[in-house]
């Protein structure tokens, strides 16, 4: 792939066009799935995936926030306790 990362504006337009075509493909695939009658099954799969995502990401997010709080309380952390002039 010689055109990625884009080196010029025309390369960037090509990448955007490809992304747009892929997005349209996914859109029409979803419409086809619903038209063929697999919509409720697809919704059930999406709901199951969302529950798994929430189960995994909630503790991970809490740990990340806790780590950020600990980092902000470090003595040598940049801009911590710096006097304003």
pLDDT in tens, 6-64: 788 888 899 899 999 999 999 999 999 999 999 899 899 999 999 998 998 888 888 88
Q: Check: CB of residue 80 under 8 Å from CB of residue 74.
A: yes
Distance of CA 55 to the CA centre of its chain: 17
Q: Please tell me the predicted confidence (pLDDT) of residue 59.
A: 85
Q: Check: CB of residue 77 under 8 Å from CB of residue 71.
A: yes
Q: Is the previous residue joined to 5 through a cis bond, with omega within 30 degrees of 0?
A: yes
Residue 15's nearest CA partner among 25, 23, 5 is: 5
Model pTM score: 0.50
CB atoms within 10 A of CB 17: 10
């Amino acid at each position: 792939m010689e055109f990625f990362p884009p080196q010029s504006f025309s390369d960037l337009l090509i990448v955007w066009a490809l992304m747009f075509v892929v997005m349209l493909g996914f859109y029409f695939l979803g419409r086809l799935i619903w038209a063929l009658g697999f919509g409720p099954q697809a919704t059930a799969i999406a709901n199951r995936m969302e529950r798994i995502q929430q189960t995994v990401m909630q503790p991970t997010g809490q740990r990340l926030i806790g780590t950020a709080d600990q980092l902000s309380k470090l003595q040598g952390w940049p801009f911590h306790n710096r006097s304003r002039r």
